[in-house]
Amino acid sequence: MSNQAKAVVIHGAGDVRVEDRTVASPSAEEVQVDVTLGGICGSDISYYSKGAVGRFTVTAPMVLGHEVIGTVRDVGSRVGGFEDGQRIAVDPSSPCLTCDRCREQRFNICLSPIFLGSASTQPHTDGGFSSLLLSKAKNVVPLDSGLADELAVFAEPLSVCVHAVERAGGVSGARVLVAGAGPIGCMLVALSVASGAAEVVVADVAADRLEIGRRLGASSVRLVGNDDLGAGYDVVFDASGAATAIADGLERVRRGGTLCLVGLPHGGSVPMPIHLSVTGEVTVVGSFRFNHHEFRRSLELLTGGLNLSPLISNRYHVHDAGAAFVEASSGDAMKVQLDFSQSS
Ligand SMILES: [Zn+2]
Ligand SMILES: [Zn+2]
């Protein structure tokens, strides 16, 4: 079998190329995966449109992608429990396991993490948008035969939402406002509904995104600038990263409630009416990535029928990755998927 792969490589802003790469055979504790499907994430789009995510700038060519599923092609000598051709999802996160945060089991805020497709490390960490991929066996999770590929590939972004609900202290019986109806906001809607929230309101500046929020189960949708967003919510999730929305979110939480920040604010500092957090004892929490048990939990939720298919905008073959990134970064798309099947 050939170890040649087709990989989606970012060289800088606006410069994504499909390149041939040679992938090594698996070492003792690795699994070699034939990647079948990938999802383009906000961070991939940021690398494409700006050449950076926050302060992490692409300074050398890097394979993009961290939302991937595939099938097992080969396993290392110390790897058991997998069959050739078995369908799996790859958890893209590898905490160091030795730092103070890892010792507290807060692996998602590890002090020196490795994350697929990230320019946070030097050299950069190549991602999963490669038709052939090596992964540590402990990051590889089997897929249920009843779970379709196009839904299984949501495991990673849904994990972000599972972690956010956990950080918010749960939403069972709660009145929830989700600010921002992008992919993460819409998944927070679906997850809050599935988690027993009493009411889930979603707000955005774009009516077409709100319609997807409605299809994913929102009790009501509010067009920012047009509709009243309401107040007295037990939990407000900010999935927009917009300064005005974050400040506004704090005004809409009830006394003793929680504002959970999931979207990364563009440009750093955000002015906040922080007196409301003091006098109303509103808890403001940040939420970042997820832990491995939350990745497994999100696969259970998807297997159990959490249907995120309204989020799929389009699917491109890896050979057309350039067009996929143009669509994904257009602002009109929700989730664009990349098909890697039979591409090496
Ligand atoms: Zn992602
Ligand atoms: Zn660590």
% helix, strand, coil for the chain, step of 5: 30, 30, 40
The model's pLDDT over 49-89, given as tens digits with 9 standing for 90+, comes to 999 998 899 999 999 999 999 999 999 999 999 999 999 99
Rounded to an integer, the average pLDDT of 222-242 is 97
Gap from CA of 205 to ligand 1 centroid (Å): 22
Rounded to an integer, the average pLDDT of 260-265 is 94
Structure confidence at residue 343 (pLDDT): 60
**116-125, 137-146, 265-274: which has the minimum mean pLDDT?**
265-274
The hierarchical CATH code for the domain 4-154+308-339 is 3.90.180.10
Handedness of CA 300, 163, 178, 193 (dihedral sign): positive
CB-CB neighbours of 255 under 10 Å: 10
pTM across the whole model: 0.97
Closest ligand to residue 41's CA? 1
Q: Which one-letter amino acid corresponds to residue 121? A: T
The hierarchical CATH code for the domain 159-286 is 3.40.50.720
Closest ligand to residue 103's CA? 2
Question: In angstroms, rounded to a whole number, what is the distance separating the alpha carbons of residues 251 and 232?
Answer: 9
Gap from CA of 67 to ligand 1 centroid (Å): 6
Gap from CA of 291 to ligand 2 centroid (Å): 12
Q: Confidence class of residue 328 from pLDDT cuts 50, 70 and 90?
A: very high
Is residue 188 within 8 A of residue 164, CB to CB? The reply is yes
What residue spans define the domains of the chain?
4-154+308-339, 159-286
Residue 344 reports pLDDT greater than 60: no
Structure confidence at residue 2 (pLDDT): 80
Equal fold, 4-154+308-339 vs 159-286: no
Closest ligand to residue 114's CA? 2
Is residue 88 within 8 A of residue 33, CB to CB? The reply is yes
Gap from CA of 80 to ligand 2 centroid (Å): 26
Rounded to an integer, the average pLDDT of 270-283 is 95
Gap from CA of 100 to ligand 2 centroid (Å): 7
Closest ligand to residue 107's CA? 2
The model's pLDDT over 177-199, given as tens digits with 9 standing for 90+, comes to 999 999 999 999 999 999 999 99
Closest ligand to residue 109's CA? 2
Closest ligand to residue 116's CA? 1
